[in-house]
Amino acid sequence: MSLDTAVFGGGCFWCLEAVFKMIKGVKKVVSGYAGGAKEDPTYEEVCSGSTGHAEVVKVKYDPEKVSYKLLLEIFFASHDPTTLNRQGNDVGTQYRSIILYTTPEQEKLAKDYIDELKDDKVYPDVIVTEIEPLEKFYKGEDYHQDYFANNERAPYCRAVVSPKVNKAKHEFASMLK
């Protein structure tokens, strides 16, 4: 089995990790940092907004079971792509909406999908999602991995992550593991 890689940032990486881990064909999801210039950034450095990195997830998936287009649909359904450098109360460039493509085909699919969303007027505001090539991915600290699964009762998880997980369960029920 040959796996492909997709990298998305849509606010706090705990939310996207929890959502993508539920999807058939997704084999691994790693929370980390990408899109900036600082080598080997720490969570504290990324949170300061000084590194240029965004909180992202690296999704390893089986393209025979789940398409990149469906991953894009899940990504856009899991965050607000119209808020610049923020998701809810999480504010700063580290929380921006970003797609970091790993192939020219992913770049084209991402651009085409955003055009489709615009044409269909899915969002009342302008989509601000960045589309950039993935230069380097840095794995986040161990305590960020499987965060929602390990901290489901934490206030942030209950208030922010759980609603996104529940929405994905409803909208993508046929694709759940």
Whether 15 sits among the annotated catalytic residues: the reply is no
CB-based burial, 76-94: b 16+ in 10 Å, e otherwise: bbbbbbebeeebeebeebb
Which one of the listed residues 12, 15, 47, 157 is annotated catalytic?
A: 12
**Residues 147, 134: Cα–Cα separation, whole Å:** 24
Closest CA to 102 of 70, 128, 132: 132
Q: Reduced to 3 states, what is the DSSP secondary structure of residue 67?
A: coil
Q: Are strands 97-101 and 130-133 parallel, antiparallel or unpaired?
A: parallel
- In single-letter form, the type of residue at position 13 comes to F
Which amino acid is it at 16?
A: L
What is the Cα–Cα distance from 24 to 79, expressed in whole angstroms? 20
- Give the catalytic positions in this structure: 12
